[in-house]
Amino acid sequence: MTTTTGISTHTGRAAPLNQANVDTDQIIPKQFLTGVTRAGYGKHLFHDWRYLDLNEQELNPDFALNMPEYQHASILLCRENFGCGSSREHAPWALADYGFKVIIATSFADIFYGNCINNQLLPVALGNEQMDTLFDHVNAQPEAEIHVDLPNQTVSVADHQFSFDIAGQHKQNLLKGLDAIGQTLEHEGQIEKYEDNEPVWL
Amino acid sequence: MAKTLYDKVYDAHIIKAPGDDNLLYIDRHLIHEVTSPQAFAGLKEKNRKVRRPDRTIATMDHSISTRSLALDACGPQNALQLQTLANNCAEHGIELFAVGHQKQGIVHVMGPELGLIQPGMTVVCGDSHTATHGAFGALAFGIGTSQVEHVLATQTLKQSKAKSMLIQVDGQLAAGTTAKDIVLAIIGRIGHAGATGYVIEYAGDAIRALSMEERMTVCNMSIEAGAKAGLIAPDETTFAYLQGRDYAPTESHWQDAKTYWQTLYSDAEAQFDKVVTLKAGDIAPQVTWGTNPGQVIGVNTPIPAPNDFTDASERESAAKALDYMGLQAGTKLSDVAINQVFIGSCTNGRIEDLRSAASIAQQGKVADNVTAIVVPGSAAVKRQAEAEGLDQIFLQAGFEWRLPGCSMCLGMNDDVLQKHDRCASTSNRNFEGRQGRGARTHLVSPAMAAAAALRGHFADVRDFQE
């Protein structure tokens, strides 16, 4: 968890991944979890879907991220329960390393959502119909730019504008790029006080 | 005000409440090689220390071989990760159960069997199956690596309050059905994301009747319904399990601890945000047919068709799952041939699981075209099984008997399936590619896995002798 510059607004193209229950095993399969750093996971993002071979030489032309029109996308569109399964933070590391700044989905799994916040990757949850609109728009006009405004909590494309919810603490952390550990250590006195009163058997 | 068990444990650990993200004290932090290296690197970068090495326990489990004790048995990258854990533990004074240590094991098998997990504790680990420890009435949940770093540095975690769900399992399980069948049936009922945003409390006669190991199996898969955690109120079964274990309260503190633990239950008037009720007697041995754990049926139910689902998203998921799994709607599971069996994992790698599987294994031989491996959940489970002669039963029936670790549940070692292998697995995830690219995983209980191994296809364990 490092101090980074915050995220405020973002404008970019979106890639459509029109599928529910995309789990973190799909986002980054197990054979790429043996690293000891946070870097370099982007090339393995969605490995099983993105590549036809194990050595990542042959691209799957049917996978959205490989289509010419969705190159340089910085926003990912998905459906419900995105990021379910394993707690592996390698999943947001891979998404961010690939170049995604914002993930817009119908819903997210809890652990993944928190991991995104801790990595300056903005998770935006929108309703089913709003997601349908975004998918339709991006399918019809891949070059369309989507504008995401965190301070105002809105997503805009063409004439459409949608509001989204985010917890105040999460919003602040994303906006300011706060060092969460540093923040907590400011309360060291309270932590010590808690420890002084713990049961003896612990 | 009446409180749920979750309220009681949560409230007892609040350090401060800054707006919508409370700061909770963490009593026990379990770590392993895969999700900790970047956390330690982060500490080093900021010149920070581990606040409570005495509350932190490490083991090696995910990246290790089940055939060799050598750290490099699965290649240099795995070895580097394992060595990094060893170095970090040595540098920060954290107790480590490395490969070959008599206390080594899958983090969620090792912790409970050593008495490290006690009622009312907060427990975290960089692993989603940390939910297992809720079986003790502890608030236990999986966290990401940034949070691992936060807990190492501060022994606290920012954690907002989840909603509460009571899952009541009434009545008695029928013969041949197990804790695994209970939890698969629950996920089948509420769905793969049915508990997202909730902490589950499991209650009812069928839950009370479970042993601690069975309760761990149920709580373990809470995350497969999307839950933050799953809890079971502690009782005499819990206390009897804990007494005398290495890290349990000593005799001089036992009564004080137990007096506190006995206050840990949901008050009669406590309100839950959602209540789900199941009848244990209605649950048949379960088998997953799809690519998430909610896609599950009883062993004698035909495989469903996409059109059986009213929800459009479920229909699409079902069609995609049938395609990946290579299955036709309407097929009977007894007509689905398997060629791989995996018995083990943090869900079903404990001694009672191995006894259950062995009771079926001793009734025949592994079918000709099937490779079946048994991977004990810990070194202690392995020793106990060998003392009881279970290893010999498995070996004589044609199963392989391996060293403890996570193994084929996720295949970070060399226990990986090949494309189109079909596996009856006692693990927790049937995701696409989870056990190997293109491989097809069906989640079952240990007894059902052993039955499939002998028959070469899925079989109703109730057709075997008790």
Backbone angles phi, psi at B304, to 5 degrees: -75, 165
CB contact under 8 A, B153 and A185: yes
Interface contact A69, partner B, CB < 8 A: no
Nearest-CB residue to B226 (from A26, A84, A169): A84
Shortest Cα distance from A192 to chain B (angstroms)?
A: 10
Question: Which superfamily does CATH assign the domain made up of B286-463 to?
Answer: Aconitase, domain 3 (3.30.499.10)
* Structural element, H or E, at residue B168: strand B163-170
Interface contact A160, partner B, CB < 8 A: no
Nearest-CB residue to B38 (from A37, A48, A84): A37
Q: Does CATH place domain B163-282 in 3.40.1060.10?
A: yes
Per-residue pLDDT of chain B (466 residues; tens, 9 = 90+): 999 999 999 999 999 865 667 899 999 999 999 999 999 999 999 999 999 999 999 999 999 999 999 999 999 999 999 999 999 999 999 999 999 999 999 999 999 999 999 999 999 999 999 999 999 999 999 999 999 999 999 999 999 999 999 999 999 999 999 999 999 999 999 999 999 999 999 999 999 999 999 999 999 999 999 999 999 999 999 999 999 999 999 999 999 999 999 999 999 999 999 999 999 999 999 999 999 999 999 999 999 999 999 999 999 999 999 999 999 999 999 999 999 999 999 999 999 999 999 999 999 999 999 999 999 999 999 999 999 999 999 999 999 999 999 999 999 999 999 999 999 999 999 999 999 999 999 999 999 999 999 999 999 999 997 6
Cβ-based contacts of A180 with chain B (< 8 Å): 146, 150, 158
Helix%, strand%, coil% for chain B, nearest 5: 40, 15, 45
DSSP state of B284: P
R_g (Cα) of chain A, nearest Å: 19
Q: Which of B407, B284, B394, B438 is nearest to B342 (CA)?
A: B407
Q: Give the separation between CA B439 and CA B423, rounded to whole angstroms.
A: 8
Cβ-based contacts of B437 with chain A (< 8 Å): 29, 48, 54
Return the structure tokens found at B192.
């793969």
In chain A, which residue's Cα lies nearest the Cα of B226? A109
Cβ-based contacts of A36 with chain B (< 8 Å): 37-38, 41, 80-81, 84
The domain spans of chain A are 9-196
In chain B, which residue's Cα lies nearest the Cα of A189? B15
Interface contact A151, partner B, CB < 8 A: no
Fold designation for B7-158: Aconitase; domain 3 (3.30.499)
pLDDT of residue A3: 43
Q: Give the separation between CA A164 and CA A155, rounded to whole angstroms.
A: 8
pLDDT of residue A6: 78
Question: Which superfamily does CATH assign the domain made up of A9-196 to?
Answer: Aconitase, domain 4 (3.20.19.10)
Nearest-CB residue to A85 (from B18, B19, B128): B128
Q: Which of B203, B204, B224, B54 is nearest to B131 (CA)?
A: B224
Query: Do B7-158 and B286-463 fold alike per CATH?
Result: yes
* Contacts with A198 (C-beta within 8 Å, 6 or more apart), sequence order: none
CB contact under 8 A, A21 and B317: yes
Cβ proximity of B47 and B91 under 8 Å: no
pLDDT of residue B19: 62
Q: Tens of pLDDT along A120-170?
A: 999 999 999 999 999 999 999 999 999 999 999 999 999 999 999 999 989
CB contact under 8 A, B41 and A168: no
* Contacts with B274 (C-beta within 8 Å, 6 or more apart), sequence order: B163, B164, B165, B166, B198
Which of B192, B254, B264, B443 has the highest number of chain A CBs within 10 A, making it the mutation to test binding with A? B192
* Contacts with A49 (C-beta within 8 Å, 6 or more apart), sequence order: A26, A60, A63
